[in-house]
A and B are shown apart, each in its own frame.
Chain A
Amino acid sequence: MHLFLRRLSLLGDALSHAVLPGIIAAVVLSGSTNAFYVVCGALVASLLSITAVRLLTNAGLSSEGALGVTFTTFFALGVLGLNIFGSQIDLDPSCILYGSLELAPLETFPLSAQFGAHFEVPRAAFSSLLTLVAVTIVIVSRRRRLMITSFDSEMLKLSGSSTLNRFDSGLFFAVAAAAVVNSFFAIGAVATTGILITPAVIARLFSNSMRGMWIITIISTTGIACCGYLLAVVFDTPVAGAVSGLAFLLALLAVFLSPHGGVLPRLIRGKLLILKIATDHVLANKLDDEKQLTNLNSRNPRSSNGFFMLTWLRISGLMAQDGTLTEPGLRRAQTLVRSHRVWESYLVNELKFAPDHVHEPSDRMEHFLTPDLTEKIADQASLSEKTTLGKKS
């Protein structure tokens, strides 16, 4: 999630490609495919690649350029290694890309012997658990700092203790790299990217606070992982595919429908806003005089579909069928007018506007003063309800 906040979302994908040479080197050097060596190699490679990105950025490349150059080059090096040493090792590179979780339960860890034969703890699960614990410890203990760093690393630098900052930053990256590498072996690189970022995206669309984001992220990550695995088993598809596909579909739903920031709700709200402005004009005019529509058209040539507005007013119960105002409609119109008057008086008394200048600005304010705000202004200005101009009486 912090990767997401720090605009480094593609780091996961980049890292996945970059670790290949590390893995190859580790396997070649150690002569076996022991997982420990592989993970070490992967970690070394990822740290090297992060340094390379930094170096390139300092040399003048843009940050995305540096990222792209690094991960493609590292991957090419890895492929080269594979070509050269291919006969010596028994590694299937595409396995890294989409993982082998299906096989994971078959690899048990010696520790399981202590729990008796019934508990054959899958190795993958064990290492995942370990990583999870480590990550949780780091994040919980450093969460405030992480929050600041994610938001504005400049501020953190300024607030002193630069060595501590670099430690934090390094720790964050190390932990992230560890978590990422760990999940590569379980579900592969691409799904890792999906799981890294998509739940965070979903969380952001539904909540505005750090804590809310955390909760949603955790829930959705576990949920997606479990459901994805189940789906994969049921439909006999690769786990990585199911998991990231599921995450993606959920994200799409969130993007389009989330009430907070989704595409459709914003569109709808925008349209409703236009409608509200137009209908407010109608209401206010209604209260004045009975020649509504002609006035309306002259004031708002753009929203010339008066019929549409009248229909909306009728639907929302503010206007009766025959065109007179209903009770709620009357109240709303009165609020509008009163807030207009109050604002006029405020402008005149407090801000010393010339009386003939206040009508236009008040006209605009009236839409958006809520009743209590109006009251507050009225109190503050200690007014009585007198009008200043002849137009609205």
Chain B
Amino acid sequence: MIAETLPFFFFPSSFLSLSVLPTSHVALVILGASTIGALLGAAGSIMLLRREALLGDSLAHCTLVGVVCAFLLTGRKDFDVLFLGALISSALGLIIIKAIQSIPLIKPDAALAVVLAGFFGLGLIGLRTVQVSALGNKAGLDSFIFGKAALMTSSDVSASLVIAIIIFIVIFITRRSLAALCFDSQGLVSLSSPIRWAQVIVALILLSAVSVALPATGIILTCSLLIIPGCIAKFVTRSFNYYVICASCMGALSGAAGTLLSFYFENVSTGASITLAATFFLLLILSLRKCRSFFRPTPRLLTVTQERS
């Protein structure tokens, strides 16, 4: 059913998987992990700038319901099915989060927590239904949480690549509106229509990124790749464009490094090693900064960081 409605996913996917993608399993997974890392890094860096870093975490939990429902409805575990299910339920979650946040009484992170727990709980109920109906098994939940990056097939990778390329193109086209939105959406009255659209676009980017990543990489890895590359890039770059690019490169690098490590050390699961690789890079950058300021005793101007109240 979904195959007919989304031919454009399939065509480039199959094309890619037939001709362009490496056949070696390791290389394939590295490519897949890097793609997802790049995508999550870019999306997450934007969210980090908007002080909505944990929104990704919340949305990642929301997708469980969608994935489960998609599986129940179609009986298939294909990437496209899961992607759409994840997309729809995380979109719903996002709408509810924004609705709750619009109430001045409720703090924004409370909304995240409520929706996270709620959707995931509903997802658990759905999962039990799946288990009971003997269609799936407990491994489903485990892979959802920890991810099965090592099990990515070439069609998974190619579909992720296609989506990632689309999203990167969108980011490039709207880069200025995104920058304006992250910095100060109100002040640019003359840009107002594109900026309103930019909010929607940012949401869509995040949702797509999360939905692409989740069926393959699991919740924890998604959250870590959303947040950590952005943190690294913040210390390294001085312009918005480079910030996003750097975050996405760090994400890809972490993905590749982590995957390599997990293939080298047989037991280690890919999700954990990618996360740890990303954290390693972060700690590296932090310590380099400390060393630099240690060797440069001249005082710099005080940094002025203003917390949004």
List the one stretch of A55-63, A291-299, A314-322, A356-364 in contact with chain B: A55-63
Q: In the assembled complex, which residues on chain B have CB atoms less than 8 Å from the CB atom of A13?
A: 57, 113, 116-117
Kindly state the separation between the CA atoms of A177 and B32 in the bound complex, as whole angstroms: 38
Q: In the assembled complex, which residues on chain B have CB atoms less than 8 Å from the CB atom of A229?
A: none
CB < 8 Å neighbour of A9 from B113, B221, B267: B113
Check if A69 sits within 8 Å of B227, measured CB to CB: yes
Task: Say yes or no for B54: interface residue by CB 8 A criterion.
Answer: yes
Task: Say yes or no for A105: interface residue by CB 8 A criterion.
Answer: no
Kindly state the separation between the CA atoms of A198 and B272 in the bound complex, as whole angstroms: 30
Minimum CB–CB distance from A143 to chain B (whole Å) comes to 20
Task: Say yes or no for A373: interface residue by CB 8 A criterion.
Answer: no
Interface of A (DSSP majority class): helix
Q: Whose C-beta in chain B lies nearest to the C-beta of A194?
A: B117
Task: Say yes or no for A211: interface residue by CB 8 A criterion.
Answer: no
Q: Whose C-beta in chain B lies nearest to the C-beta of A231?
A: B125
Kindly name the residue among B52, B106, B112 whose own CB sees the greatest number of chain A CB atoms within 10 A: B106
Chain A residues 125-175 with CB under 8 Å of chain B are none
Q: If the complex has contacts A94-B141, A194-B117, A238-B124, are A69 and B228 also in contact, measured as CB distance less than 8 A?
A: yes
Interface of B (DSSP majority class): helix
Chain A residues 63-91 with CB under 8 Å of chain B are 64-65, 67-69, 71-73, 75-77, 79-80, 83-84, 86
Chain B residues 12-62 with CB under 8 Å of chain A are 48, 51-54, 57-58, 61
Q: In the assembled complex, which residues on chain B have CB atoms less than 8 Å from the CB atom of A97?
A: 145
Q: If the complex has contacts A83-B272, A194-B118, A242-B121, are A64 and B142 also in contact, measured as CB distance less than 8 A?
A: no
List the one stretch of A199-207, A271-279, A340-348 in contact with chain B: A199-207
Task: Say yes or no for A247: interface residue by CB 8 A criterion.
Answer: yes
Task: Say yes or no for B175: interface residue by CB 8 A criterion.
Answer: no
CB < 8 Å neighbour of B105 from A12, A204, A236, A244: A204
Check if B267 sits within 8 Å of A84, measured CB to CB: yes
Task: Say yes or no for B120: interface residue by CB 8 A criterion.
Answer: yes
Task: Say yes or no for B99: interface residue by CB 8 A criterion.
Answer: yes
Task: Say yes or no for B165: interface residue by CB 8 A criterion.
Answer: no
Kindly state the separation between the CA atoms of A183 and B252 in the bound complex, as whole angstroms: 37
Kindly name the residue among A61, A76, A77, A262 whose own CB sees the greatest number of chain B CB atoms within 10 A: A76
Chain B residues 82-109 with CB under 8 Å of chain A are 96, 99-100, 102-107, 109
Chain A window 84-112, contacts with chain B (Cβ cutoff 8 Å), 1 for yes, 0 for no: 10100000011001100000000000000
Check if B220 sits within 8 Å of A72, measured CB to CB: yes
Minimum CB–CB distance from A23 to chain B (whole Å) comes to 15
Q: In the assembled complex, which residues on chain A have CB atoms less than 8 Å from the CB atom of B99?
A: 255-256, 263
Check if B117 sits within 8 Å of A247, measured CB to CB: yes
Check if A240 sits within 8 Å of B107, measured CB to CB: no
Check if B114 sits within 8 Å of A62, measured CB to CB: no
Minimum CB–CB distance from A102 to chain B (whole Å) comes to 11
Task: Say yes or no for A252: interface residue by CB 8 A criterion.
Answer: yes
Check if A94 sits within 8 Å of B145, measured CB to CB: yes
Q: In the assembled complex, which residues on chain A have CB atoms less than 8 Å from the CB atom of B124?
A: 98, 190, 237-238, 240-241, 244-245
Check if A197 sits within 8 Å of B271, measured CB to CB: no
Task: Say yes or no for B202: interface residue by CB 8 A criterion.
Answer: no
Check if B116 sits within 8 Å of A251, measured CB to CB: no
Check if A68 sits within 8 Å of B53, measured CB to CB: yes
CB < 8 Å neighbour of A65 from B53, B96, B142: B53
Task: Say yes or no for A214: interface residue by CB 8 A criterion.
Answer: no
CB < 8 Å neighbour of A245 from B118, B132, B282: B118
Closest 4 pairs between A and B when the two form their complex, measured CB to CB = A248-B118, A244-B121, A194-B117, A241-B124
Binding site for A on B (CB under 8 A): 48, 51-54, 57-58, 61, 96, 99-100, 102-107, 109-125, 127-129, 132, 138, 141-142, 145-146, 220-221, 223-224, 226-228, 230-231, 234-235, 267-269, 271-273, 275-276, 279, 282, 286, 289-290, 303
10 example contacts (A-B, Cβ-Cβ < 8 A) are as follows A64-B53, A68-B57, A72-B221, A76-B273, A94-B141, A193-B116, A201-B110, A204-B105, A205-B103, A237-B129
